[in-house]
A and B are shown apart, each in its own frame.
Chain A
Amino acid sequence: MKRAYRPFALLAAAMLLTAFGGYGPETLANNATGQIPTDQITATRDGSHDFDFLYGKWRMPNHRLVKRLAGSHEWEDFMSYDECHPLPGGLGNEDFFKTDHWKDFVGMTTRTYDPKTGLWRLYWVDNTFSGGVMEAPVVGKFEGNIGVFEAPDTFNGKPIIVRFTWTVHPKGSKVAADWAQAFSTDGGKTWETNWTNEIIPMDDAEAAQHFGPGI
């Protein structure tokens, strides 16, 4: 969701495509006929509503490790504001993340759902670090109230795995959910959490202040 670094290595990209099946030549045939081969359909839980909890407008206290994978324990705190809504046609959802921690910062997450595999892909782009290019997605799903989404990537030239963890709290909780980003340099054995935030509902007045009456 908020990864300010390079797109993941091409080798890693190949691994990801292999690991998750993804699109392939069959997609072409499918598109021409509008048919999905029945042998590709396996029973998966319908996770298409697993991000519905995020629809709305939120205040997010952020807690961010300033230097990653450096043994540092220096954290910075800042506020962000977020608005999430569904995309049409069952594609998924998108949200806009605004903060003044970086000047006039806006980030966008697009979450697309694959009903065939039950997997979500979470894409990130922002107006400060991304250079007009979507980052490669982290991929995963929810089990119970916890969603884990991972992707291979590189950080300062070294291969890492990036993981987002969403934890959804019971309805009516003061904090609706929390989010964490962690990196692993040892193939997932150990993780360094470097960014967390909490999703707190805003009232209409506060929301209008950050997103205007329109959104």
Chain B
Amino acid sequence: MLPRPYRPFSLLAAALLLTAFGSVSDADTPAGATGAAVRDGSHDFDFEMGKWKMHNRRLLHPLTGSTTWVEFDSYSVGTQLPGGIGNQDVNRNDYFKKGFVGLTYRLYDPRTGLWSIYWVDNLSMQGAFVDPVVGKFTGNTGVFEGPFTFNGKPALGRYTWTVSPKGSAITAHFEQAFSGDGGKTWEPNFVNDLVPADR
């Protein structure tokens, strides 16, 4: 959902991820026939469907020890994709550049109950999606992680979504964090709150 200004994850890490979460089905065998019972998480992002204003706080230089944060507003629209594929979100702001657009696809695998969350934007991505963070919700908290390379070093990225009770002024809270030590410690570098908007 938010700009992750870094490289796609390393190929070794990609291999680990594919192993960990199982590859997509082979040839012409539909997925879904072989799955063990998993909770139906296909509606776990329904809270994000609609129009939102977000006040963002962003750490300018992640994993450097810097504590310089900047703040800006953005607008987001979440819509469902057909056929149970998942949903998408269009994020707009004039902070990164005038006319910045970031696009998130959240794709759901009913077989594993896992979401894969992809990001691309019209500033830095050169038309290529960042490799996904992968995870699921437990209760009102969703955690999604993926390996990547940041400033030439292996790192982990994590999105954490926390959904507020219905009727709250803030619908949900988002946090992006990076880990440079394999997940022992995490540094949040991008946080925002979702507030309903009419644009």
Contacts and interface: CB of A to CB of B under 8 A. Distances in A.
Interface of A: 4-7, 10, 13-14, 22-25, 27-28, 30-32, 34, 87-92, 96, 98, 102, 104-106, 108, 110, 112-117, 119-121, 123, 125-135, 137, 155-156
Interface stretch (B49-57, B121-129, B165-173): B121-129
B133 interface: no
Interface stretch (B96-104, B137-145, B191-199): B96-104
A104 B116 contact: no
Main SS at interface, chain B: loop
B22 A131 contact: yes
Interface residues of B, number: 62
Given A34-B97, A112-B129, A133 B6 contact: no
Given A92-B127, A131-B109, A156-B26, A98 B7 contact: no
A27 B6 CA distance: 7
B150 A28 contact: yes
Interface in B107-158: 107-112, 114-116, 118, 120-129, 132, 149-152
Nearest to A88: B101
A123 B122 contact: no
B25 interface: yes
Contact of B31 (A34, A96, A128): A128
A5 B26 contact: yes
B17 to A, nearest CB: 10
A44 B59 CA distance: 35
